[in-house]
Chains A and B, each alone.
Chain A
Amino acid sequence: MSKVYFQKVDSNTSVKEIKDITIQLLDKLIE
């Protein structure tokens, strides 16, 4: 079974928040 990490977003999520989430997800995957 493969792991898939995610964070919820919605239409109000800002570009900065998307950038932050992207980095957090990358950190999580490689930890």
Chain B
Amino acid sequence: MNKELHLKTAEEHGFTQIPIIFADGEQGELFDEVEISKKHFTTCKIGKVFSDYKQLIVLSHFKGHFFAGFGGAMKQLSMGCASKGGKLAMHMGIKPKIVNRKCKKCNLCKERCNENAITIGNKSFIDYESCVGCGACISICPHKAITVYTLKGLYNVFFQGTMFREKMIEYAYAAQKDKKNIYMNFGMNVTKGCDCEPKKMKPIIEDFGIFISTDPVAIDKACYDIAKQKGKAFKGSEQFLYAEKIGLGSTKYDLIEI
């Protein structure tokens, strides 16, 4: 994690009016092992600060996401609360690759990478010891020179996509375990890509509402279903069933307009 980059991003977005806490330490070194005993993880590495709180108010922008399919409360819980090691554990298997014949050596990916994992040179490469597989380099490259669409990458995307999403759901389960959280989703400026992609994107459907619930599965399912009704069926819907199966929440919801 790069503290300075995160603070700069926060400042650029006007978030410095509230306290900023690096929940897993400035180097991602502070975490608690939360026991869940599920299919992919026995324990999850959750940022240590979260152990101090019995309740979180989880604010999420509902939108699409390159790997997860969509992002809402469940993704916010998992990626937002996982320590650096936890993020690595979830992304394991997603390995971006620089296609050197397409690389123009503009350094945009190197500057964007929070993990300092990218070396640009005669033969540019990504250090997989440092890479957390977040995919930010893929989205920022204007030359489409970073991809997972190698033969191995195709395998990762199509066969491990579900595995990635299940891992994410297990981390969401760990992050909310023994807490009485409140979840708010904002179905506004719904874009194809995630907010972690450093570029301005146009909304793909009209704004549809602000939501609140104590159930992270139900609130995401409600947003997902409305987005689908409005013409955008995000991929990754299988994560709802897995989330319900492991006890994260319910896919059945009563939607009440106030």
Q: Which residues of A contact B (CB under 8 A)?
A: 1-11, 13, 18, 21-22, 24-26, 28-29
Contact = CB atoms under 8 A, between A and B. Distances in A.
Interface string B218-258: 11001000000000000000000000000001101111111
Given A2-B213, A2-B249, A8-B209, 8 more contacts: A1-B254, A2-B214, A3-B253, A5-B213, A6-B212, A18-B210, A21-B210, A29-B213
Contacts of A6: 209-212, 222, 255-258
A24 B258 contact: yes
Contacts of B217: 2
A3 B254 contact: yes
A26 to B, nearest CB: 7
A1 B253 contact: yes
Interface centre among A1, A4, A10 (most CB of B within 10 A): A4
Given A7-B258, A8-B257, A28-B258, A2 B215 contact: yes
Interface size class of B (residues with CB under 8 A): 20 to 34
Contacts of A18: 188, 210
B127 interface: no
A25 B207 contact: no
A6 to B, nearest CB: 4
Contacts of A3: 213-215, 218, 253-254, 256
Contacts of A11: 206-207
9 contacts: A2-B218, A3-B253, A5-B211, A7-B257, A9-B207, A10-B207, A21-B210, A25-B210, A29-B213
Given A24-B258, A25-B258, A28-B258, A4 B213 contact: yes
